[in-house]
Amino acid sequence: MGKKNCELSPEDIQRICDSFLAFDETEQSKKFPNAAFGYWKVKVERPLRLHSQFSFKAIESLRFASGDEDIRSELYEELGEDLFEKPSAVRKKLQDLVNNWGKSGDSEDEEGEATPARKAIPAGKKKKLLNEATWKRDARLMEIATQLRESIGDDLFENHNVFLQQIKDTLKELDFKLPAADHKAIVNAVSWRVEGAPEVIKKIHKPGKGEKAARTAPDPLRGRYQIEIDGETCIVEYEPDTELRDHEQISFLEAPDSGQPGGLPTQETTREGIESFIRREVLPYTPDAWIVESDTKIGYEISFTRHFYKPPKLRTLAQISADIHSLENETEGLLEEITGGAK
């Protein structure tokens, strides 16, 4: 029952063996088909939904896009814009600040209150902070985001797909070629999750033939949706929202005929069992969900709690009411005794 470092006595071992050999259903002994202990662990995704806007506050957050925002913001307060515009000019000061970070003891803030000493910066993080390229990259990200704002404007985009197309067209006009990581950093900085916003499209499938046609056919349960884009019917896949990602543990017993003695699911019954469970237990509550079939894993477990646990019997309302009245009688006059009768 989940306990460790326990030892069975000879009597307990004998009782277990006798129960097994008797092979009867009792309170301590139950029979299950093999499939009852197996399960599929299925990844369930839901689409990413975003709003986007090139606000000054969002662009300003790119100043520390390379990470360690807390440390970088303090270094920026100390060294100013030279960190981004002329990092080589303040390199000596930057090295002193980073190398001596956390060496001093407790200090006092402007109001005279003690502030705890800072922890020393690990070697790997220190190397990154002293790398001029990281500061120049963040400065460039802010510069590009500012230019995008000047071209696109600061309007709110409620459809992230339109926003991405605007960025793509504008970068082409400005003749900017951004690395994928930098493009992602800018987009993430100016976008946020909004429930009910249009789904973010990850991929648009072109019509195929033969096996490709089967792989790109509409199948909402596996994340392929048929929609219209600019008047054309397309099959699309959506970006998954990692914050909404979930996993379902589905018993082999969901598969047809797997409940028969020794009946383990085949590839065909596996698909049927998973589909049946998802349609019944997931889609009614999250109709935009889909499964990632290639990430399905198989596991086995014997859950003693699930099969043998007996919940305690709940008290009746009459018993609860009697207890309440008993407490009222015990405390009757106690308040008056404490306050001396004062009102």
The tokens for 210 are 């033969």
167 and 265 co-located in one domain: no
Domain identity same for 248 and 234: no
Q: Is the separation of the CB atoms in 96 and 216 below 8 Å?
A: no
Helix, strand, coil percentages, rounded to 5, for the chain: 45, 15, 35
Residue 312 within any structural domain of the chain: no
pLDDT at 106: 47
The answer as to whether 3 is a domain residue is no
Looking at the structure, do residues 163 and 93 belong to the same domain, yes or no?
A: yes
Non-local (6+) Cβ contacts of 120 within 8 A are 101, 102, 103
Picking from 182, 211, 239, the residue at the C-terminal end of a domain is 239
Higher confidence at residue 163 or residue 228?
Answer: 163
Same domain for 57 and 128, yes or no, is yes
Distances (CA, A) of 115 to 102, 108, 109, 111, 229: 12, 6, 7, 11, 57
Dig out the tokens for 211 from the structure.
């096996």
Distances (CA, A) of 84 to 64, 76, 89, 160, 212: 11, 9, 10, 30, 49
Do 268 and 209 sit in the same domain of this protein?
no
Same-domain status, 41 and 56 = no
The rounded mean pLDDT for the chain is: 87
Q: Both 180 and 75 in a single domain?
A: yes
Instruction: Report yes or no on 108 lying in a domain.
Output: no
**Percentage above 90 pLDDT, the chain:** 53
The per-residue pLDDT for range 266-280, each reduced to its tens digit, is 888 889 999 999 999
180 plus 280 within the same structural domain: no
- Looking at the whole model, is its pTM more than 0.85? no
For residues 247 and 241, the answer to whether their CB atoms sit within 8 Å is: no
- 170-195 pLDDT, tens digit each: 999 999 888 999 999 999 999 999 99
Nearest to 303 by CA among 259, 249, 261, 248: 249
Looking at the fold, whether 168 and 136 belong to one and the same domain comes out as: yes
Q: 143-167: buried (b, 16+ CB within 10 Å) or exposed (e) per residue?
A: ebbeebbeebeeeebbbbbebbebb
Confidence of residue 259 (pLDDT cuts 50, 70, 90): low
Three-state SS at 335? helix
| 218 and 285 both lie in a single domain | no
Amino acid at 54: F
Same domain, 152 and 227: no
Based on the fold, state whether residues 138 and 94 are members of the same structural domain. yes
Q: Domain containing 249: what range?
A: 28-46+243-307
Give the pLDDT confidence of 61-114 residue by residue, as tens digits: 999 999 989 999 999 999 999 888 888 888 999 999 988 887 765 455 555 555
CA 220, 221, 222, 223 torsion-angle sign: positive
Gap between the Cα atoms of 145 and 121, Å rounded = 30
Determine, yes or no, domain membership for 1. no
SS3 168: helix
Q: With contact defined as beta carbons under 8 Å apart, do 53 and 155 qualify?
A: yes
The confidence band for 232, taking pLDDT boundaries of 50, 70 and 90, is: confident
pLDDT beyond 50 at 123:
yes
| Domain count within the chain | 3
The predicted model gives 41-70 an average pLDDT of: 94
Please tell me the distance from the alpha carbon of residue 323 to that of residue 293, in angstroms, as a whole number. 54
Is residue 222 included in any domain, yes or no?
A: yes
16 within a domain of the structure (yes/no): no
